[in-house]
Homo-oligomer: A and B are copies of this chain.
Amino acid sequence: MTLTGKMLIGQQSLHGHRDAIRAMNPATDTPLEPAYAGCDAEHVEQACALAWAAVDIYRETSLADRARFLETIADNIEALDEELIERAIAETGLPRPRIQGERSRTCGQLRTFARTVRLGEWLDVRVDNAHPQRQPLPRADLRQRHIALGPVAVFGASNFPLAFSVAGGDTASALAAGCPVIVKAHNAHPGTSELVGSAIAQAVKQCGLPEGVFSLLYGSGNELGIALVTDPRIKAVGFTGSRSGGIALCQAAQARAEPIPVYAEMSSINPVYLFAAALETRGEQLAEGFVASLTQGAGQFCTNPGLVIAVQGPALERFIHVASDLLSRCPAQTMLTPSIFNAYETGVSALAKHARIAAKGLAATGPNHGQAHLFVTQAPAFLSNVHLQAEVFGATSLVVECKDAEQVRQVSEHLEGQLTATLHIDDHDLPQARALLPALERKAGRLLVNGWPTGVEVCDAMVHGGPFPATSDARSTSVGTAAIHRFLRPVCYQDFPDSLLPAALGHDNPLGLRRLVDGQREA
């Protein structure tokens, strides 16, 4: 297909009237065609009105129909083939295998949610049968299911132009829950967004759904985002991006006449703990793994290992030495956008004021080339200096040298909320790892042993979430099938005749769900 530079409002393609967005190829610092003119208040109104008109129909589609819709989106994205791959590479500077892998992940994610929809456990059906004879009062017939919250506004991430953008995890889980979605396209990849948006809009049509199930809007600045979040028909928000951006959306959502939930995935430095025995026996191997995880994708991952915590001594010295040596040979890499590159440079400079530079990667050889950095500081400095906890989005990490296990504990308790925390241990380290675990469970959404936090599996058990500021809502995950729960709420039906009950709650269990009936789980 030819890129049009138009937004999608339901099945309609429209040109905007406001300031245009134009993607930049970060590898060449050249602008890409076409321009995407921003939408105005009237377009937001149209998209929200269509979404509102769609919600009661879409949220009651059968499990099979909804699953098929998600699978059709995946099929349509795959059919975009090379055009999508090439555009995404041009707009992000990410290498081809990464974009191909991300497309697989995106389509796999949609199909995984299709499976989850069909399984129906997310309905959380509970049935308490009537007890007309109970004393002193009879019990009514009570049945609970979950329904969609309503239209959801999704703000895609810059660093996952497919897997966390227009048809990414937020969109897939909201659509799975039965919520219409309005996406604000990320300004860094408008063409990729148009391609994927068209694939979704086409699936809406193929599946005979109301057109308001999906819209895709463009707009520079914050105006469009705030207009979406404050529209009374929007009932929840999914966001992946900066801490300041996430907090602004949370505040706008809370200031509404009817406050709504915002799921913002914001800021995490992902502490990695190197325990004594592991460091002693395989410090070099750990240094290799660390540098590979840190520099992968120019370090542009929410789960990038931005903090290393260990007890000082010769083994840690050797780790720092080997990691520095490896890092100093890492080529600079093209970052996603000029503004991300500039923010990275600013972040590195700020960190350099407070911590010692242990190593730098190879210098830039092209535009927007981020140079990897490794910093070192001591625990007392870390504990007393809030700047050392600021996320620097890119291939930069800080080693915190601790005097002893007690100082490791203090540093851990001092941490803000995190997406991940990683423990590198050998058998001898188990007692100390066990002692630290309660603090880490309080601090992070995912705990890893002897791995690296980059690489987030889309599965049932994944938690890509964590206490503030990792996310705005620690009760949720934005990756994995449990993400569907973010967009649902329970409704109870009391003494309903069978003919008026939704199918999930019918007396004969027509959907064949495993329901909780009178306190017992059905087989």
Q: Which residue of B lies closest to A494 (CB)?
A: B448
| A516 CA to B449 CA, complexed, in Å | 22
Q: Which residue of B lies closest to A147 (CB)?
A: B441
Closest-CB distance, A285 to chain B (whole angstroms): 16
Q: Which residue of B lies closest to A518 (CB)?
A: B460
Q: Are B495 and A490 in contact (CB under 8 A)?
A: no
Q: Which residue of B lies closest to A453 (CB)?
A: B494
Q: Which residue of B lies closest to A127 (CB)?
A: B461
A353 within 8 A of B: no
> Which parts of A123-157 form the interface with B (CB within 8 Å)?
124, 126-128, 136-137, 139-140, 142-144, 147, 149-150
B115, B144, B434, B500: the one within 8 Å of A449 (CB): B500
B contact residues around A119 at 8 Å (CB): 519
Q: Are A494 and B460 in contact (CB under 8 A)?
A: no
Q: Are A417 and B258 in contact (CB under 8 A)?
A: yes
- Complex interface bits, A93-134 against B, C-beta within 8 A gives 1, otherwise 0: 000000001000000000000010001010010111000000
- Complex interface bits, A481-523 against B, C-beta within 8 A gives 1, otherwise 0: 0100000111111111101100000000000001010010101
B contact residues around A434 at 8 Å (CB): 500
Q: Are B494 and A447 in contact (CB under 8 A)?
A: yes
Q: Are A126 and B460 in contact (CB under 8 A)?
A: yes
B contact residues around A489 at 8 Å (CB): 445, 465, 467, 474-475
> Assuming the A-B contacts A142-B461, A490-B463, A521-B121, are A449 and B254 also in contact, with contact meaning beta carbons closer than 8 angstroms in the complex?
no
Q: Which residue of B lies closest to A136 (CB)?
A: B101
A477 within 8 A of B: yes
> Assuming the A-B contacts A259-B472, A457-B128, are A490 and B494 also in contact, with contact meaning beta carbons closer than 8 angstroms in the complex?
no
A430 within 8 A of B: yes
> Assuming the A-B contacts A137-B455, A500-B449, are A492 and B254 also in contact, with contact meaning beta carbons closer than 8 angstroms in the complex?
no
| Oligomer copy total | 2
| A459 CA to B143 CA, complexed, in Å | 10
| A81 CA to B446 CA, complexed, in Å | 47
> Assuming the A-B contacts A115-B519, A139-B457, A142-B462, are A449 and B491 also in contact, with contact meaning beta carbons closer than 8 angstroms in the complex?
no
B contact residues around A62 at 8 Å (CB): none
Q: Which residue of B lies closest to A482 (CB)?
A: B490
- Complex interface bits, A34-78 against B, C-beta within 8 A gives 1, otherwise 0: 000000000000000000000110001000000000000000000
- Complex interface bits, A279-315 against B, C-beta within 8 A gives 1, otherwise 0: 0000000000000000000000000000000000000
> Assuming the A-B contacts A441-B491, A451-B495, are A259 and B468 also in contact, with contact meaning beta carbons closer than 8 angstroms in the complex?
yes
Q: A142-B462, A149-B475 are in contact. List 14 more A-B contacts (CB 8 A).
A: A115-B519, A119-B519, A126-B461, A128-B460, A139-B459, A143-B461, A144-B461, A144-B482, A444-B491, A461-B492, A465-B489, A475-B489, A477-B490, A523-B523
| Residues in chain A within 8 A of chain B (CB atoms) | 55-56, 60, 101, 115, 119, 121, 124, 126-128, 136-137, 139-140, 142-144, 147, 149-150, 250-251, 254, 258-259, 261, 416-417, 430, 433-434, 437-439, 441-442, 444-451, 455, 457, 459-463, 465, 467-469, 472-477, 482, 488-497, 499-500, 514, 516, 519, 521, 523
- Counting from the closest, the 4 A-B pairs by CB-CB distance are A463-B492, A56-B438, A142-B461, A126-B461
- What are 10 A-B contacts defined by CB distance under 8 Å? A60-B438, A126-B461, A142-B462, A149-B475, A258-B468, A445-B489, A445-B491, A446-B491, A450-B495, A460-B519
